[in-house]
C-alpha cells in the first residue's frame, strides 16, 4: 500500500472540504435566488474586471523585477517582495487610505492630481496589484530561472541592455510562463477581501456605480446588510467558486506544462 499517496490524498481532501461543502449547499439545499441575482453578477463582473486590470499592471511593472531577481541573485529584494502578503491584508487597505488621505503630503499630492483611491476602481486595482504582484513575481521567478540564459548572453554580447534583452528576446519566448503566472496571480486577486473591504467597499465610478467586489458582497449577505442572509452568502460563494476555479486550473495547468 502506498501510504504517502494515501496521506497526500487525505490532506488534499481536507483542503477541499470547504469548497465542496460550499458548492453542495450553495447550489443545493441552501440555494437562494439572491445569491445569483443581477447584483451578485455585477459584483463578480467588477471583481473579474479589476483583477484582470491588476494582472495587466503586474505584467507591466513586475515582470522586470521578476527577471532581475531571477538573474541578479538579490536575496534582500527577493525577501522584500513577500512583505505585502505576509502582513494582515487589511493593513494594505489602511496603508492605501493613508497614502491617499488629504491630511498626508502624499495624499495632498495625489488628490491634487485627482487621484482618489477611496471607494474607486483605482483604489480597488491598487490594492489588488499589491496583493497579487508578490504571487506574480514568485511565479515568474522560477520560470525565468529555469530558462537557459544562452540567448540572453548572446544578445548581451551583441550590445543589448538587460531591459532590451528582456523585452526583445526573453518575453517573446515566455508566453506560457507569462500566461500561467498571470492566471495564478489573477486567482489571488479574485480571492482578495481584507484590503479591498477597507479601500473599496464599493466603487463610485461608471460603469460600476455602487457595486461592491464579489468578496465584499458575500460578506454583506453574511452580515445581514444585504437581504438574503447566510443562504445567499453560501449561494454567491458557490457561484464565485465556479467562476474562479477554471481560472485557477488554467493557470496551474499551464504552469505544469511549462515546467516539463
Partner 1 sequence: MIEAKVRAHLGEFQLNVELRGEGVTCLAGKNGSGKSTLLRVLAGFLPVDEGNVLVGGTNISNCSAEKRGIILVTPASCFPHLRVDSHIMWGANLKKLRPSDEYVSRVKSGLGIDFAGTVGNLSRGMRQRVSLATALLSSPRAILVDEAFLGLHDREAFIRAYGTLAKEAGVDVIFTSQDEEDGRLGDHLYVMNDGVAAPKY
Which of 29, 105, 112, 157 is in the footprint of partner 1 by CB under 8 A? 157
Q: Which residues have CB under 8 Å from 257's CB, separation 6+? A: 176, 180
Query: Does 169 help bind partner 1 (rule: CB under 8 A)?
Result: yes
For residues 204 and 117, the answer to whether their CB atoms sit within 8 Å is no
Give the C-alpha separation, 119 to 104, whole Å: 18
Query: Does 73 help bind partner 1 (rule: CB under 8 A)?
Result: no
For residues 136 and 115, the answer to whether their CB atoms sit within 8 Å is no
Give the C-alpha separation, 181 to 139, whole Å: 5
Query: Does 154 help bind partner 1 (rule: CB under 8 A)?
Result: yes
Size of the site for partner 1 (CB under 8 A): 17
Query: Does 112 help bind partner 1 (rule: CB under 8 A)?
Result: no
CB of 146 to partner 1, least distance (A): 13
Query: Does 158 help bind partner 1 (rule: CB under 8 A)?
Result: yes
211 beta partners? 203
CB of 74 to partner 1, least distance (A): 16
Which of 104, 116, 156, 205 is in the footprint of partner 1 by CB under 8 A? 156
Q: How many CA atoms lie within 13 A of 106 on its CB side?
A: 8
Only one of the segments 28-36, 97-105, 153-161, 210-218 lies at the binding site for partner 1 (rule: CB under 8 A); that segment is 153-161
Closer residue to partner 1, CB minimum distance, 163 or 230:
163
How is residue 241 written as a grid cell? 467558486
What spatial distance separates the first Cα and last Cα of the chain, rounded to whole Å?
Answer: 28
Give the C-alpha separation, 165 to 259, whole Å: 22
Closer residue to partner 1, CB minimum distance, 155 or 186:
155
Closer residue to partner 1, CB minimum distance, 59 or 221:
59
What is the greatest pairwise CA distance in the chain?
68
Only one of the segments 43-51, 56-64, 121-129, 148-156 lies at the binding site for partner 1 (rule: CB under 8 A); that segment is 148-156
Residues at the contact surface with partner 1, assessed by CB under 8 A: 148, 150-151, 153-162, 164, 169, 172-173
Amino acid at each position: 500500500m502506498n501510504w504517502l499517496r494515501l496521506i497526500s490524498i487525505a490532506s488534499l481532501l481536507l483542503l477541499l472540504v470547504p469548497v465542496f461543502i460550499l458548492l453542495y449547499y450553495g447550489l443545493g439545499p441552501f440555494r437562494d435566488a439572491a445569491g445569483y441575482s443581477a447584483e451578485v453578477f455585477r459584483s463578480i463582473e467588477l471583481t473579474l474586471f479589476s483583477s484582470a486590470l491588476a494582472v495587466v499592471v503586474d505584467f507591466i511593472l513586475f515582470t522586470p523585477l521578476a527577471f532581475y531577481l531571477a538573474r541578479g541573485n538579490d536575496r534582500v529584494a527577493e525577501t522584500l517582495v513577500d512583505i505585502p502578503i505576509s502582513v494582515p491584508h487589511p493593513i494594505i487597505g489602511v496603508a492605501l487610505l493613508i497614502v491617499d488621505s488629504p491630511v498626508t503630503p502624499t495624499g495632498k499630492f495625489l488628490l491634487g492630481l485627482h487621484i482618489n483611491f477611496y471607494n474607486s476602481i483605482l483604489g480597488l486595482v491598487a490594492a489588488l496589484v499589491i496583493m497579487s504582484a508578490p504571487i506574480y513575481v514568485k511565479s515568474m521567478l522560477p520560470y525565468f530561472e529555469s530558462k537557459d540564459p544562452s540567448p540572453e548572453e548572446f544578445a548581451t554580447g551583441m550590445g543589448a541592455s538587460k531591459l532590451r534583452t528582456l523585452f526583445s528576446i526573453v518575453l517573446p519566448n515566455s508566453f506560457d510562463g507569462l500566461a500561467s503566472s498571470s492566471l495564478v496571480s489573477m486567482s489571488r486577486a479574485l480571492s482578495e477581501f481584507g484590503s479591498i473591504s477597507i479601500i473599496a467597499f464599493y466603487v463610485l465610478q461608471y460603469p460600476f456605480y455602487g457595486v461592491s467586489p464579489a468578496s465584499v458582497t458575500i460578506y454583506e449577505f453574511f452580515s445581514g446588510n444585504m437581504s438574503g442572509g447566510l443562504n445567499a452568502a453560501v449561494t454567491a460563494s458557490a457561484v464565485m467558486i465556479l467562476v474562479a476555479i477554471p481560472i485557477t486550473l488554467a493557470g496551474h495547468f499551464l504552469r505544469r506544462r511549462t515546467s516539463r
